[in-house]
Copies of this chain bind each other. A is one copy, B any other.
């Protein structure tokens, strides 16, 4: 299991609003098996097998083109561990536990 954050930004659309694209991404994620995901104010975070995540990245990156965009910039960060099961909940929980202590 890996965790990745992804931000998909269409360039040159003439609108400063990005939320329609983010909403469309989440509609696509809703129908995607084998992953968990979470909306944050700066990126969408996805948990799953790395190969599955890479397929999802390709789909989300391609979406704005289907909506008419002519250029897309996608930023991704992948976090992956071999020594421990990595989950979104585990990552924030581990920090919150330290903060609460």
Contact = CB atoms under 8 A, between A and B. Distances in A.
A57 B41 CA distance: 18
Given A58-B51, A92-B41, A77 B7 contact: yes
Interface residues of A, number: 59
B70 A78 contact: no
Given A14-B12, A41-B91, A54-B54, A99 B61 contact: no
Interface string A10-39: 011111111110110011000000000011
A40 to B, nearest CB: 4
A13 B71 CA distance: 12
7 contacts: A19-B91, A42-B43, A42-B91, A61-B80, A71-B83, A74-B77, A76-B77
